Chain A
Amino acid sequence: MAARVAIVDDHQLVALAVQSVVDGAEGLSFARHAATVDELVRRMRDADLVLLDLSLRDGSEPGENVRRLRAWGADVLVLTSGEDPFLVRSASRAEVLGIVRKSVPQQVLVAAIQAAARGELVPTTEWASALDTDPLLNGAPLSAREREVLGLYASGLVAREVATRLFISENTVNDHLRRIRSLYHRLGRPAATKVELYQRGIEDGYVPAPRRG
């Protein structure tokens, strides 16, 4: 059965373009386009995967948008035109499968959507770079190997290339990435009061960010 894909984007033309990509790809079917998350979730769930524009002009916050779509019952893959690392982080702290740039080659975009439709993680350079520079992650319990994987990913390598470089299997790389993602997701939850205070301190420049040895 084909996975149903909806898109939330300000531009109808972008939706049209994505629709043609989705309809032409194996295992995917286009569900619906909405200009805002509100508009999409107002109806019964009719999509398994939502492609969400990172910066919608209705002033909504990406993290909040992701959470609402998750609550609606769909997986989320974020699409972005440019990479504002703050917005990317905000979305990453919520439960997204990945952050993909709209201007990547078409076959890359299709592969990303197909992977997301299977519920797989879609790690990208943009996603890894935003995480790799987040002071919040500096204080998080990541192993040296995990940091290395994240750093290489942020520098443009893909899982297969990281695996070759570090003499480990591609599966191991993907395990590392999954753990980084879920850890980051946990850090982003508002219940982590202490962490959030710590993070606020770093962002405001009150607490010096820890250096990596």
Chain B
Amino acid sequence: MAEPAQDRPRIGAGERSARQILAAAAALLIVVVLAVHIAMVTRPDQPSFPLWALALGWLAAVFTIATGVAARWLPDAALRTAALIAVAAYGLTLITFPFAVPDQGIDRIPWTLTASGAAAAAALVGGGRRLAWLTVLAGTTAGFGFRAVYGGLDLTGVVNDLQALLTGAVICVIGGHIISVGRGLDAAAASISAAAARESAERGRLAARTRAAALVHDEVLATLNLAASDLPIPRDRLAEQAGRAASALSRMVDEQAEEPVLLRRALAEEARRHGAAFAVLGGPVTVLPAATQEALLGATRQALLNSRQHAPGANVEVTLEIRHQEATGSAILVRIADDGPGFDLDGIADDRLGIRQSIVGRMSRVNGGAAEVCSQPGGGTEVMLRCAAELVRVLDSSGDRRALRSGLGAVAVVYVLTQTACAVLASLAVAGTWPLNLAVLATALLAAEILRRTPSRRPGPGRTAPVVALVLGGLVAGALTLPFGYGTTWFSVAFAFVFVAFALRGRIGVAVTGGAMIVAVLVVTGLAAGVSAGELVQVTVRPVVLITLAAALLMVAERLHRRIAALHHEAVDQAERRSWTLAARSELAIRVAELGRTVVPLLERIAAGGDPTPAERREYASWEGELRDSLRAGSLARDPLVGVVAAARDRGVDVVLLDDSGGSLADAQVEPVLRWMADAIAGARERAVGRLLPAGREAVAGVTVDGQHTEFQGAANIVQGE
């Protein structure tokens, strides 16, 4: 069980950790409830409940705590089962309560019975949002019912149950949101990972093809060309070169299938080679398209060379920055700066300035690429390179927004209803206080409404100040004018809830400070009113728990989500590299197998030395042409044309095939062209050029055989053919 990650691959790291946090929160809530219960509320003169009922209550409590403590090490299925058992134990306690009531009756039901917050958190872990809401409602309903039957249906009892309902609702919404964000992160990572792997494989194949083509171009074409020519070339030197080319081809899979080099690493290496400092600012960059990366590296190299040449001994620094911009997409910036003497840009003619040509020209060929050279005499030189970073992935999940909104809506309704009920009950309980209670209620609702209407997600100081002033003013006024007690000071929770809303909107600091101020006001006014320490704790505990719980949950969840996102990022990078390497290797293996069948035997024959016969020369020329076609002939490199062209080359005809169509022709359009072109080239004696024309010309293809040019009237011929 050391690695729970491998136990259930179906559940992602994000969702699992969200559940662990909630299990721990449930345990913490139970500890608080138990502490308050034992220290303050237990009265020795109460008739005692039967042993089985006490055991059941303790079982629910202890099981919840144990689950929370062990959550980190439990596999997901076990964690959910344990949480469900804890919820079931709480439910059982509610259901069996009537049977547990002693015969002589009780004064009032224990307040712990309706403290459903912990059970709600456990229900989120084990079941989900629905079970959690059900648990909270069951606790509240049972509370009211049992109070009516067995006693305790007074202001303190009802206010307690209503505030427990509010606490439970807050837990349901925040907890549900945390799980949904975790799940969203997992889903985003999975889909990004799959897409990244596909993309990366494609780029890996492309890179492999490019490498193979470059090798063929550099070594094989040159060798075959020389072998085919009748120029006086030293045979032993040619044999040597052919041997080198053959072995380079057979070693291609092992040597060319490199892992993609991250831009960061490549730039660091380039800077090191030129003795420049290197720094990175900003987020992660995965692999860039080869052409873009080469342009960036080449331009950087040129700028570094320039610095070394014109500012010897200056300090040079290379900085890589990744800028995320939502509107324009992300950009990669590379800055090469030296503190050398600088120069006057205007003093140098445009076409004389190597820097302009090789740096600006290079960058202008890549997507979103640009370069800028800034220098002035005495002010050093700075080169800025810029290109679009298409492949920066930002893993983000805001969870199920709709569920969060409807959850918050439900909490708002619960808030208004419970606090209004509390105000009404408090007015009824203490005669003559209704205007005061009403005013306090109105203040709390007004503060909450102002906050709700704040347009930005994080309320700024302009909104925060009046809301906090309202809350503290209302609290102080209420605490000074209304009698101090658990029921009569119901509004401490009403005001505390406003700070929960601050926490939900990302102002955790405001929430915690506000909570501390509420406690301070309550303690001072309580002490001034001369209430007992026990009663003081009773009144302050719920607002403190409410705010602390919300703030802590949100804070821990945010940190955790960041960690999970980083974890997923690594997984995505790994998937990318793996699939790149695999695809590149297999692509190269295919190319090597192909070349091994065709070109390598020829190269080995050349390497064996000896004078080639005229027939062999033509064979070399034919293969040289065919390899050239693989670079430039595009759709024309197909049967029946390939066979005819090979035969013509064997006869000593110089054949050039060019595909300039830019991929604008469908296979069905190319096929008649191939047959037509093959017929024309079959009769060639010296020179033949077959060409697919660019889109938009009158004809789709042309062929010139020994100076005779004809064009293929694509569409007409196809219509005739049908």
Contact = CB atoms under 8 A, between A and B. Distances in A.
A102 B691 CA distance: 20
Contacts of A126: 656
A125 interface: yes
B689 A125 contact: yes
Contacts of B352: 71
B658 interface: yes
Interface stretch (A28-36, A42-50, A103-111, A113-121): A103-111
Contacts of B238: 13
Contacts of B226: 13-14, 17
Contacts of B693: 151, 155
Nearest to B711: A155
B696 interface: yes
B672 interface: no
Contacts of B586: none
Nearest to B388: A204
Contacts of A71: 352
Contacts of A21: 231
B237 A13 contact: yes
Contacts of A101: 656
Nearest to B369: A200
Contacts of A17: 226, 229, 231, 233
A179 interface: no
A20 interface: yes
Interface residues of B, number: 57
Nearest to A210: B696
A103 B621 contact: yes
Contacts of B361: 61, 63-64, 190
Given A125-B656, A156-B709, A157-B704, A102 B225 contact: yes
Contact of B628 (A61, A81, A132, A203): A81
Contacts of B697: 151, 212
B346 interface: no
B326 interface: no
Interface stretch (B152-160, B214-222, B310-318): B214-222
A168 interface: no
Given A102-B225, A151-B693, A57 B218 contact: yes
B241 interface: yes
Nearest to B230: A106
A145 interface: no
A25 to B, nearest CB: 12
Interface in B690-704: 691, 693-694, 696-697, 702-704
A161 B708 CA distance: 8
A21 B688 CA distance: 24
B335 interface: no
A148 to B, nearest CB: 11
Contacts of B704: 155-157, 161
A57 B365 CA distance: 20
A14 B221 contact: no
B632 A83 contact: yes
Contacts of B107: none
B660 A196 contact: no
Most chain B beta-carbon neighbours within 10 Å: one of A155, A190, A203 = A155
B662 interface: yes
A55 B241 CA distance: 18
Contact of B660 (A55, A57, A67, A133): A133
A17 B335 CA distance: 45
B631 A83 contact: yes
A211 B696 contact: yes
A191 interface: yes
Contacts of A14: 222, 226
A14 B227 CA distance: 11
A85 B633 CA distance: 12
B654 A154 contact: no
Contact of B357 (A132, A161, A190): A190
B393 interface: no
B433 interface: no
A63 B357 CA distance: 9
Contact of A156 (B229, B368, B688, B696): B688
A154 B356 contact: no
Contacts of A125: 656, 658, 689
B707 interface: yes
A129 B222 CA distance: 22
Contacts of A106: 229-231
B696 A154 contact: no
B166 interface: no
A82 to B, nearest CB: 4
B350 interface: yes
B351 A189 contact: yes
A190 to B, nearest CB: 6
A59 to B, nearest CB: 6
A161 B709 contact: yes
Contacts of B702: 155-156
Interface string B680-722: 0000000111010110110000111001010000000000000
B234 interface: yes
Interface in B359-404: 360-362, 364-365, 367-369
B229 A204 contact: no
A133 B662 contact: yes
A129 B660 contact: yes
Contact of A64 (B358, B628, B656): B358
A51 to B, nearest CB: 14
B244 to A, nearest CB: 10
Contact of A154 (B351, B357, B627, B691): B691
B625 interface: yes
A189 to B, nearest CB: 7
Interface in B658-675: 658, 660, 662
B687 A156 contact: yes
Contacts of B654: 103-105
A84 B350 CA distance: 27
A67 B660 CA distance: 27
A20 B361 CA distance: 37
A140 interface: no
Given A67-B357, A133-B660, A190-B357, A82 B631 contact: yes
A84 B631 contact: yes
Contact of B233 (A13, A84, A196, A200): A13
Most chain A beta-carbon neighbours within 10 Å: one of B217, B298, B656, B696 = B656
A152 B709 contact: yes
A157 B709 contact: yes
Contacts of A196: 364
A211 B241 CA distance: 47
A16 interface: yes
Interface in A51-71: 55, 57, 59, 61, 63-64, 67-68, 71
17 contacts: A63-B357, A64-B354, A81-B217, A81-B225, A82-B217, A82-B628, A83-B632, A103-B228, A151-B697, A154-B658, A155-B691, A156-B656, A156-B702, A156-B704, A161-B707, A190-B351, A200-B369
Interface of B: 217-218, 221-222, 225-226, 228-234, 237-238, 241, 298, 350-352, 354, 356-358, 360-362, 364-365, 367-369, 621, 624-625, 627-628, 631-632, 654, 656, 658, 660, 662, 687-689, 691, 693-694, 696-697, 702-704, 707, 709
The 8 closest A-B pairs by CB, nearest first: A156-B689, A156-B704, A155-B702, A81-B221, A82-B631, A17-B231, A133-B660, A211-B696
Given A20-B232, A156-B702, 17 more contacts: A12-B237, A14-B222, A16-B234, A63-B361, A81-B221, A85-B632, A102-B225, A103-B221, A132-B694, A133-B660, A151-B697, A156-B687, A156-B691, A156-B704, A156-B709, A204-B368, A212-B696
